[in-house]
């Protein structure tokens, strides 16, 4: 095991205290790339280990992704689901946090390249997560944004709220209907949650806010190429979800593929092969994901989604010092089935790596136990007070499912202040149907409209 | 008084109810441009008037500007100080809200041009506020952003937080000091509040968050061309403020002019005429403001700051149907002294216009009373628990001033939910020194750095 020696130089940037003592840090260095569920859990699990932890992320905050759709649908504010990484690790003396974008890994020299720096490691943990995949149609991305970061969420929020504002001003009935048609692509948990939430936003929260349009007339269409929504859940919960979506006013179109997306809307292909356009000003992508470019950094092949295959100790083949975990890794459960890209998986993997390295530092000869994922179940919410929860033998649905869903999510939020704030907001919107985060922020492009020279202008001119 | 007749057409966009009855709206129409303190107060004050109110704004939210500096310094989130305009006016049946950017006014045809629409009015209220003025040096704007909108605030927040992140990674000592030097230009209330808040952020909230740098070493410089900070306040309160700023670690440089701003920092000219550079990565403009282009729209001359002169009834000369109020208007108090660009002024003016038009609608022959501003005093805060309040005979300072400041600001916030949420956050940060909104959102440019080929790299490589 290589040890790191640090020699102070005039510009080495170490804190004055450390420099004054002339000490060098002889502990092995664990470099963790990514402060999502996987990376942050690993960092925290190393708090008692005799190592130096360096956590790198291109953003300054840890994001609670399961609730991102609530920011996108104006239910929560960004600050309620994000915590500065430095705040989380402030009291962990062996940890440092650096902000920057990693561009590559040098396995031979054991360093990570980030913004002109080369950051050496003794152990490397890659937990950089996933981005959206458009199945080769990257030109679709600008028309149908996905939901992976806070910027995605506020951009979607802007598009959704702006659609109603534009509709209010729109005189042409079919143009108005295009503004009031929302298409969500992909009926997995994210798609179902988005669609249900937009439907509630339109049919409840905004109901009395407009004069020219009736938000109830907004269409929310959920397109799914497979046969049912929430295909990863048991069939009965899947069927229950479909019924709830219908009650909320979401139109679920199963067995329907998206074959085109542009400024005007989407092109849909039904089971019979017929293709038809659906005009929409707001298309949301909740379908494919692909791993961040970890495979490229490591010079290995990724699977179809770009994920790096790892063994039972979450190592890359031939590199016991490199761990890959979370959505960018292809790990298996005890039966050899691939583990899904879920938050609890990344979290448990991060904790495993932290414990492993802590153990290894104390007893280098110890046998490395394999990672074993404990599947506690899965949850998905459908609107403001309905959720489904699959805990194996115990299945919940309806309001009690929603209680379980909210308690579990609040529990896993990081930070007491965030928990309190989110609990407050959910109680508020439960009681009032209102949403506290309905801001359009960021640049608002002017709608290009011809100026009518004639006197007839809908509702805006004196006769 | 011209009345508006609306004739339904196939694309007139009126609600189905109204169209079904075939009714036309014969009430006079009051068009209000701007949903800040002035415009929104006017709209609300018209709730019982027999008129139709159309409120236009280029954003969908009303912004509580006095607390914008807290968003910029990561103390509050955008959603806590902004309320959707539609929410505020939801239950006001005679009011409609339209989102768009007004580009001109046609006084002869009595209509407002907005995004290809022409919106007729019987009465027009212009309350579009102010923007920043760089005294003719518009090239300074990209280096020294101001604080007028939520986008300004989150951009500033990003720059401030990023400066610490960059400093943590910076090996060169003078480059690091440039990152850790914050320059606020203009020691009016906004500048004082910003400077004090950044100082607390650096010296308290972030104190334990970094390893390579010591945030205490951050410099916060407040530059003022005049002789004292808070020149609009009585001298004793001004002197008290200067002492408090010093305690917080803010360097107040009075009698100092800014003669240049660029990527590297600012050029300052002292009272003796000597010019010296001050390297800084974060320069904030809190000095000049100028009115929005109302004067241009009306085809009249504005004053030096672009404000439109109005008479005692807040009308433009020769146009009893056009009112201009708030920061874009030049109105006088009873003694003929110009009214300042403060929130309470705009608010009272808006309420006055609303009452006036309500009265006028009932009794067209009634005499129009003049607008009389009731000066209840002024407040400014210096850091987390100190403020000054000038209520005329009663002057408060210190913690009791801060209590008054926070109670008054919470009272004037719009929306119970916002009040509760802000009160909670202030209590939290008062007790813990923490700031709940420390997010860097939006694109983060990579710092362009040369890669060092030699082995000597501060703290990041094995020997």
Q: How far is B429 from chain A, CA to nearest CA, in Å?
A: 10
Which residues of A are part of the catalytic machinery? 193
**Which residues in chain A have Cβ-Cβ distances shorter than 8 Å to B450?**
116
Q: How far is A251 from chain B, CA to nearest CA, in Å?
A: 24
Task: List pLDDT tens digits, range B228-263.
Answer: 999 989 999 999 999 999 999 999 999 999 999 999
Residue A196 has pLDDT above 90, yes or no: yes
**Which residues in chain B have Cβ-Cβ distances shorter than 8 Å to A43?**
none
User: Of A377, A427, A412, which Cα lies nearest the Cα of A81?
Assistant: A412
Residue B36 has pLDDT above 80, yes or no: yes
Rounded Cα–Cα distance for residues B283 and B266 (Å): 8
Q: Which two tokens stand for residue B412?
A: 């004037």
* B11 → closest Cβ in A99, A173, A441: A173
Residue B19 has pLDDT above 90, yes or no: no
Task: List pLDDT tens digits, range B305-328.
Answer: 899 999 999 999 999 999 999 999
Domain A2-132+290-369 class in CATH? alpha beta
Average model confidence (pLDDT) across chain B: 86
Rounded Cα–Cα distance for residues B237 and B243 (Å): 10
CB-based contacts of A396: which residues, under 8 Å, 6+ apart? A387, A388, A389, A404
Rounded Cα–Cα distance for residues A123 and A58 (Å): 20
Contact by Cβ (8 Å): A131, A326: no
Q: What is the pLDDT of residue B21?
A: 55
Q: Residues A59-83: what's their mean pLDDT?
A: 91
Residue A366 has pLDDT above 90, yes or no: no
Q: Which two tokens stand for residue A111?
A: 């360093």
**Which residues in chain B have Cβ-Cβ distances shorter than 8 Å to A154?**
441
Q: Residues A385-396: what's their mean pLDDT?
A: 84
* pLDDT bucket at B463, cuts 50 / 70 / 90: very low
Mutate one of A214, A441, A447 to test the B interface: name it (highest B CB count within 10 A).
Answer: A441
**DSSP 8-state assignment for residue A367:** P
* Weakest-pLDDT range from A175-189, B66-80, B176-190, B259-273: B66-80
Architecture of B138-286 per CATH?
3-Layer(bba) Sandwich (3.50)
CB-based contacts of A159: which residues, under 8 Å, 6+ apart? A145, A281, A282
* Weakest-pLDDT range from A446-455, B27-36, B251-260: A446-455
For β-strands A315-316 and A387-391, DSSP reports them as unpaired
* pLDDT bucket at A18, cuts 50 / 70 / 90: low
Q: What is the pLDDT of residue A433?
A: 64
Task: List pLDDT tens digits, range B42-58.
Answer: 999 999 999 999 999 99
Residue A453 has pLDDT above 70, yes or no: no
* Weakest-pLDDT range from A395-399, B59-63, B130-134, B237-241: A395-399
Q: What is the pLDDT of residue B446?
A: 57
Q: Residues B352-379: what's their mean pLDDT?
A: 89
Mutate one of B441, B449, B451, B463 to test the A interface: name it (highest A CB count within 10 A).
Answer: B441
* pLDDT bucket at B460, cuts 50 / 70 / 90: very low
Q: How far is A437 from chain B, CA to nearest CA, in Å?
A: 6
* B461 → closest Cβ in A13, A118, A424: A118
**Greater confidence, A258 or B426?**
A258
Task: List pLDDT tens digits, range A119-133.
Answer: 999 999 999 999 889
Task: List pLDDT tens digits, range A134-155.
Answer: 988 999 999 999 999 999 999 9
CB contact under 8 A, B171 and A11: yes
Q: What is the pLDDT of residue B312?
A: 94
CB contact under 8 A, B444 and A59: yes
CB contact under 8 A, B428 and A417: yes
Q: What is the pLDDT of residue B397?
A: 86
**Which residues in chain A have Cβ-Cβ distances shorter than 8 Å to B439?**
60-61, 78-79, 82, 84, 150
Rounded Cα–Cα distance for residues B343 and B234 (Å): 20
Termini Cα distance of chain A:
86
* ipTM of the complex as predicted: 0.84
CB-based contacts of B62: which residues, under 8 Å, 6+ apart? B35, B36, B40, B82, B83, B84, B85, B88, B414
From residue A194, alpha-carbon distances to A56, A186, A284, B385, B454 in Å are 30, 10, 9, 42, 51
Rounded Cα–Cα distance for residues B391 and B170 (Å): 48
Same fold, B2-132+290-369 and B138-286: yes
Neighbours of B327 (CB within 10 A): 31
Task: List pLDDT tens digits, range B85-134.
Answer: 998 999 999 999 999 999 999 999 999 999 888 999 999 999 999 988 99
CB contact under 8 A, A10 and B463: no
* pLDDT bucket at B289, cuts 50 / 70 / 90: confident
Nearest residue of chain B to residue A213 (CA atoms): B15
Domain ranges of chain B: 2-132+290-369, 138-286, 378-434
Average model confidence (pLDDT) across chain A: 86
Residue B461 has pLDDT above 60, yes or no: no
Rounded Cα–Cα distance for residues A75 and B79 (Å): 11
**Beta-ladder partners of B283:** B183
Compute the CA torsion angle A129, A132, A134, A137 (nearest 10 deg).
Answer: -100
CB contact under 8 A, A80 and B77: yes
Q: What is the pLDDT of residue A2?
A: 27
* Weakest-pLDDT range from A37-51, A303-317, B392-406: B392-406
Neighbours of B155 (CB within 10 A): 16
Contact by Cβ (8 Å): B178, B279: yes
* pLDDT bucket at A452, cuts 50 / 70 / 90: very low
Rounded Cα–Cα distance for residues B312 and B371 (Å): 6
**Which residues in chain A have Cβ-Cβ distances shorter than 8 Å to B97?**
209
Rounded Cα–Cα distance for residues A392 and A372 (Å): 17
CB contact under 8 A, B79 and A82: no
Q: What is the pLDDT of residue B106?
A: 95
CB contact under 8 A, B13 and A212: yes
* pLDDT bucket at A15, cuts 50 / 70 / 90: low
Q: How far is B455 from chain A, CA to nearest CA, in Å?
A: 10
Chain A and chain B share a number of CB contacts under 8 A equal to 237
Active-site option among B193, B200, B321, B351: B193
Phi-psi domain of B70 (left: phi exceeds 0; alpha: psi -120 through 50; beta: other): alpha
Q: Residues A265-271: what's their mean pLDDT?
A: 96
**Which residues in chain B have Cβ-Cβ distances shorter than 8 Å to A160?**
none
Q: What is the pLDDT of residue B391?
A: 86
Q: What is the pLDDT of residue B7?
A: 46
Task: List pLDDT tens digits, range B136-153.
Answer: 899 999 999 999 999 999
Nearest residue of chain A to residue B79 (CA atoms): A437
CB contact under 8 A, B438 and A98: no
**Which residues in chain B have Cβ-Cβ distances shorter than 8 Å to A449?**
115-117
Rounded Cα–Cα distance for residues B237 and B388 (Å): 7
Q: What is the pLDDT of residue B462?
A: 31
**Beta-ladder partners of A219:** A181
Residue B220 has pLDDT above 70, yes or no: yes
Rounded Cα–Cα distance for residues B129 and B114 (Å): 17
Q: How far is B68 from chain A, CA to nearest CA, in Å?
A: 14
CB-based contacts of A245: which residues, under 8 Å, 6+ apart? A192, A195, A196, A199, A222, A229, A252, A382
Question: Considering chain A, what percentage of its residues have pLDDT values greater than 70?
Answer: 89
Residue A228 has pLDDT above 60, yes or no: yes
Rounded Cα–Cα distance for residues A291 and A47 (Å): 28
Mutate one of A13, A151, A446 to test the B interface: name it (highest B CB count within 10 A).
Answer: A13
Q: How far is B446 from chain A, CA to nearest CA, in Å?
A: 7
Count how many residues are written for chain B.
463
């Amino acid at each position: 095991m290589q040890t790191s020696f640090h020699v102070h130089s005039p510009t080495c940037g170490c804190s004055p205290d450390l420099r004054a003592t002339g000490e060098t840090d002889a502990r092995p260095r664990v470099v963790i790339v990514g402060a999502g569920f996987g990376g942050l859990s690993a960092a925290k699990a190393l708090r008692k280990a005799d190592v130096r932890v360096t956590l790198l992320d291109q953003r300054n905050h840890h994001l609670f992704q399961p609730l991102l759709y609530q920011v996108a649908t104006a239910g929560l504010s960004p600050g309620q689901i994000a915590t500065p990484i430095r705040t989380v690790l402030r009291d962990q003396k062996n940890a440092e946090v650096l902000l920057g974008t990693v561009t590559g890994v040098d396995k031979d020299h054991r360093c990570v390249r980030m913004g002109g720096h080369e950051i050496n490691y003794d152990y490397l943990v890659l937990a950089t997560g996933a981005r959206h995949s458009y199945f080769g149609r990257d030109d679709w991305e600008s028309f149908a944004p996905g939901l992976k970061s806070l910027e995605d969420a506020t951009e979607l929020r802007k598009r959704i709220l702006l659609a109603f504002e534009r509709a209010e001003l729109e005189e042409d009935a079919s143009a108005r209907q295009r503004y009031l048609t929302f298409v969500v692509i992909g009926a997995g948990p994210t798609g179902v949650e988005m669609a249900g939430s937009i439907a509630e936003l339109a049919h409840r929260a905004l109901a009395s806010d407009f004069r020219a349009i009736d938000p109830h007339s907004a269409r929310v269409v959920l397109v799914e190429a497979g046969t049912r929504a929430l295909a990863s859940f048991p069939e009965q919960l899947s069927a229950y979800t479909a019924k709830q979506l219908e009650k909320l006013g979401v139109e679920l179109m199963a067995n329907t593929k998206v074959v085109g997306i542009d400024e005007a809307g989407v092109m849909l292909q039904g089971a019979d092969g017929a293709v038809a356009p659906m005009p929409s000003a707001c298309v949301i992508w909740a379908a494919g994901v692909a791993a961040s470019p970890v495979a490229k950094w490591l010079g290995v092949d990724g699977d179809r989604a770009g994920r790096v295959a790892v063994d039972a100790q979450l190592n890359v083949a031939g590199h016991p010092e490199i761990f890959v975990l979370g959505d960018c890794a292809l790990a298996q459960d005890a039966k050899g089935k691939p583990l899904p890209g879920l938050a609890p998986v990344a979290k448990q993997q991060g904790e495993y790596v932290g414990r492993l390295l802590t153990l290894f530092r104390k007893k280098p000869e110890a046998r490395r136990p394999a990672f074993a994922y404990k599947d506690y179940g899965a949850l998905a919410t459908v609107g403001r007070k309905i959720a489904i929860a699959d805990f194996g033998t115990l299945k919940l649905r309806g309001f009690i499912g929603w209680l379980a869903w909210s308690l579990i999510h609040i529990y896993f939020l990081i930070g007491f202040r965030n928990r309190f704030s989110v609990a407050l907001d959910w109680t508020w919107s439960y009681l009032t149907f209102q949403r506290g985060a309905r801001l359009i922020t960021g640049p608002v492009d002017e709608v290009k409209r011809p100026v009518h020279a004639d006197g007839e202008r809908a509702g805006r001119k004196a006769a």
